[in-house]
């Protein structure tokens, strides 16, 4: 997944001075840029892209007008205000303020949106109307965008950007798009039950999040969200607890050594096993064994 070339080149039409770009930090899964905007712009036509654009005002104020879909829209921008431009939209802008203002502009990749939308809406994903609003009330998106800005400054890896972008795509689709009802609870429950069975069948092996997402036929991010909602804990905390429960059964039987039990329950060495056991049970395997005899 990655950002479309048109998004990279969209800044050529802008009037502001770019002060930060996530491309310079090596991010390729999403694109975040910061701009110092002029006090006044008489007219500006933005370049349409295939990606979803989120614009956050981080400093300053301005009275802004935007023409899209045949009508003018007006609002007053202050720090914390958010706008969204849908893929394919060309917007005519003009604004005037008492002072210059600053924006963060985040492009969410079209193929990432398509993948998540397909999971949420199935065969109707291509008909979804992505948000196009001059002003939008959302307390979550500004916090995530500003956290991503700090991550760019700290030169955190693209893995961080990919995770944050997936979260935002899921959030935008679920809170700002009218999604059809695709599957009932039974559909999701069956897949989560399959994941839980997979965990129980693989207590002694290394299990990855990719493995679990494949079993569930869900994205990793959607799986984490619905799994915790269903079981009250994320998959790997549940896996740890299942391993410890199996270890308790084996310790009670008394036929295996602690080292053998550690390996059988998926731990590379007894010390890692002992630490996990103590976190869950509250005592060491040796103490548990002594207390149950």
**Residue 116 confidence class, pLDDT cut points 50, 70, 90:** confident
Q: Which of 17-26, 105-114, 221-230 is predicted with the least confidence, judged by mean pLDDT?
A: 221-230
pLDDT digits (tens, 9 = 90+) for 65-115: 999 888 999 999 999 999 999 999 999 999 999 888 999 999 999 999 998
pLDDT attached to residue 187: 65
Residue 5 has pLDDT above 70, yes or no: yes
Q: Which of 2-16, 22-36, 233-247, 263-277 is predicted with the least confidence, judged by mean pLDDT?
A: 2-16
Average pLDDT value for residue range 6-14: 87
**Residue 183 confidence class, pLDDT cut points 50, 70, 90:** low
Q: Which of 51-60, 114-123, 134-143, 197-206 is predicted with the least confidence, judged by mean pLDDT?
A: 114-123
Question: To 10 degrees, the CA torsion angle through 33, 34, 39, 42?
Answer: 0
Provide the mean pLDDT of the chain.
89
The CATH architecture of the domain made up of 5-176 is Sandwich (2.60)
CA distances in angstroms from 224 to 42, 74, 163, 191, 213, listed in the order given = 47, 39, 12, 13, 9
Residue 179 has pLDDT above 80, yes or no: no
**Residue 10 confidence class, pLDDT cut points 50, 70, 90:** confident
CA distances in angstroms from 156 to 3, 140, 225, 280, listed in the order given = 18, 21, 24, 32
Buried b (16+ CB within 10 A) or exposed e, 248-269: bebbeeeeeebeebbebbbbee
Domain boundaries, the chain: 5-176, 184-293
Dihedral sign of CA atoms 238, 240, 242, 245 in order:
negative
The alpha carbon of 48 is separated from its chain's Cα centroid by a whole number of angstroms, namely: 24
Question: What is the Cβ-side half-sphere exposure of residue 227, based on CA atoms within 13 angstroms?
Answer: 28
pLDDT attached to residue 22: 96
Question: What phi and psi values does residue 132 have, to the nearest 5 degrees?
Answer: -140, 95
Please tell me if the domain spanning 5-176 has the same topology as the one spanning 184-293: no
184-293 CATH fold: Arc Repressor Mutant, subunit A (1.10.10)
Residue 4 has pLDDT above 70, yes or no: yes
Q: pTM score, two decimals?
A: 0.66
pLDDT digits (tens, 9 = 90+) for 27-71: 999 999 999 999 999 999 999 889 999 999 999 999 999 998 889
Residue 134 has pLDDT above 80, yes or no: yes
Residue 261 has pLDDT above 80, yes or no: yes
Residue 148, helix vs strand vs coil: helix
């Amino acid at each position: 997944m990655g950002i479309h070339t048109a998004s990279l080149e969209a800044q050529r039409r802008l009037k502001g001075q770019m002060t930060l770009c996530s491309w310079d930090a090596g991010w390729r899964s999403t694109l975040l840029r910061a701009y110092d905007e002029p006090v006044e712009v008489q007219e500006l036509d933005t370049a349409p892209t295939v990606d979803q654009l989120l614009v956050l005002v981080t400093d300053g104020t301005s009275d802004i007008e935007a023409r899209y879909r045949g009508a003018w829209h007006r609002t007053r921008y202050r720090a914390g205000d958010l706008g969204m431009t849908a893929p394919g939209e060309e917007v005519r802008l003009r604004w005037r303020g008492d002072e210059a203002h600053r924006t963060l502009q985040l492009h969410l990749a079209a193929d990432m949106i398509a993948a998540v939308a397909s999971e949420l809406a199935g065969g109707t994903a291509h008909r979804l109307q992505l948000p196009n609003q001059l002003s939008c009330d959302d307390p979550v998106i500004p916090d995530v965008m500003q956290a991503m800005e700090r991550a760019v400054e700290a030169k955190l890896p693209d893995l961080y950007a990919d995770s944050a972008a997936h979260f935002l795509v899921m959030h935008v689709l679920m809170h700002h798009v009218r999604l059809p009802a695709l599957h009932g609870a039974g559909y999701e429950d069956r897949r989560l039950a399959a994941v839980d069975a997979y965990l129980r069948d693989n207590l002694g092996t290394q299990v990855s999040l990719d493995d679990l997402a494949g079993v569930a036929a869900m994205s990793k991010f959607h799986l984490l969200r619905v799994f915790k909602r269903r079981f009250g804990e994320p998959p790997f905390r549940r896996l740890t607890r299942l391993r410890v429960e199996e270890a308790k059964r084996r310790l009670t039987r008394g036929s295996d050594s602690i080292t053998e039990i550690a390996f059988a329950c998926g731990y590379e060495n007894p010390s890692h096993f002992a630490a996990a056991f103590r976190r869950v049970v509250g005592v060491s395997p040796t103490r548990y064994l002594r207390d149950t005899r």
